């Protein structure tokens, strides 16, 4: 083993020992990182330095094709000039802090709902890689939940009932629950996607609840029945025993598997403190045979 991992929570979440990812090209090391992702579902790499291009190149080496439709792309063009890098910041295009009524800010507040990235798209997001570049003075943790442990913790009878269910995920739905309004044109672009509620992770064959605040319905179910069940599952899955809070340090790169976890941002003083992170997410398409064979 080249990498060492320090587990932070009883079921998941590891901090990896010193390694410089922008120079990591060795397939054995990349394969160890994938193996560690299968085990821990979230990994933190300290002190990373990436340009956007290096960040994207690393993401491709680790997990293949990049997602370019993960979020705000339907609303506005990114200030970063590439849709493969998502701007997770409170900074406007003129580099000042966003005004409280800035539409991008209001849109971004929904990151504080529990979610998985790009589940409202098909293909959805697989690995998200979020890099901390400027952090506020106060804590602005990201919370992660282990959806494999949450699945394991369901009653056996309920597991059987949930098997085979398909959910519709819509970003317009999750934002609308907060009172955010979309134009008709935007609605048209944000039709959403259907994904199974229970996913089996290909390499470990563990099952996980695939949940998000984006879920608007269960296919073939009456709406109130679908929504109450999803609400109950969200409550179950976000109980403290399944959750770990990541306290950011400058230079952290956090990688999470969206098939195995949910996450959410937390509140901070965004009117006065700058927070700039950048995210690259891979496409949840079948893995390249070389990657599967290497495991």
Judged by the rule CB under 6 A, the positions of this chain that interact with ligand OGA are 88, 111, 117, 128, 130, 142, 263, 265, 277, 279
* Residue 279 binding result from Mn ion, ligand OGA, none, given CB thresholds of 5 to 8 Å by partner type: ligand OGA
* Residue 257 binding result from Mn ion, ligand OGA, none, given CB thresholds of 5 to 8 Å by partner type: none
Q: Which is nearer to Mn ion, 117 or 270 (CB)?
A: 117
| Contacting residue, 117, 146, 257, 284, with Mn ion by CB under 5 A | 117
* Residue 142 binding result from Mn ion, ligand OGA, none, given CB thresholds of 5 to 8 Å by partner type: ligand OGA
CB of 232 to ligand OGA, least distance (A): 23
CB of 156 to Mn ion, least distance (A): 31
CB of 141 to Mn ion, least distance (A): 14
Let me know the angle formed at the C-alpha of 64 by 121 and 132, rounded to the nearest 5 degrees: 80
d(CA 231, CA 240): 16
CB of 184 to ligand OGA, least distance (A): 27
β strands within the chain, DSSP E: 5-7, 14-16, 42-45, 86-89, 125-134, 142-146, 166-169, 193-196, 198-200, 207-209, 215-218, 243-246, 253-257, 261-265, 276-283
Residues in the chain: 295
Residue nearest to ligand OGA (CB): 265
With CA atoms as reference, report the closest residue to 27 among 65, 61, 66. Answer: 61
Residue nearest to Mn ion (CB): 117
* DSSP character string of 163-221: TT-EEEE-HHHHHHTTT----HHHHHH---EEEESEEE-TTT--EEE---TTEEEETTS
Q: Which is nearer to ligand OGA, 207 or 278 (CB)?
A: 278
CB of 278 to ligand OGA, least distance (A): 9
The footprint of Mn ion (CB under 5 A) covers: 117
């Amino acid at each position: 083993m080249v990498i060492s991992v320090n587990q932070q929570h009883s079921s998941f979440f590891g901090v990896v020992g010193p390694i410089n990812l922008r120079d990591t090209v060795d397939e054995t090391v990349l394969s160890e990182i994938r193996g560690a992702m299968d085990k821990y579902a979230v990994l933190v790499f300290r002190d990373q330095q990436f340009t956007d291009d290096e960040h994207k190149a690393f993401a491709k080496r680790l997990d293949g094709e990049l997602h370019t439709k993960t979020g705000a792309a339907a609303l506005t063009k990114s200030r970063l000039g590439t849709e493969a890098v998502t701007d997770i910041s409170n900074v406007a295009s003129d580099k000042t802090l966003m005004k409280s009524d800035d539409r991008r800010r209001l849109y971004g507040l929904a990151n504080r709902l529990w979610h998985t990235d790009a589940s409202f798209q098909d293909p959805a997001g697989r690995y998200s890689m979020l890099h901390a570049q400027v952090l506020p003075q106060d804590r602005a943790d990201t919370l992660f939940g282990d959806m494999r442990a949450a699945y394991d913790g369901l009653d056996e009878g309920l597991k059987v009932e949930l098997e085979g269910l398909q959910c519709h995920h819509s970003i317009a739905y999750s934002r609308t629950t907060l009172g955010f309004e979309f134009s008709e044109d935007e609605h048209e672009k944000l039709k959403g996607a259907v994904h199974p509620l229970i996913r089996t992770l290909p390499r470990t064959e563990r099952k996980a609840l695939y949940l998000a605040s984006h879920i608007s319905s269960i296919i073939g179910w009456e709406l109130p029945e679908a929504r109450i069940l999803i609400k109950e599952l969200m409550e179950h899955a976000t109980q403290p025993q399944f959750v770990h809070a990541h306290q950011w340090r400058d230079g952290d790169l956090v990688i999470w598997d969206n098939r195995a976890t949910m996450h959410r941002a937390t509140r901070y003083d965004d009117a006065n403190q700058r927070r700039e992170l950048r995210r690259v997410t891979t496409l949840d398409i079948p893995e390249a045979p070389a990657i599967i064979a290497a495991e």
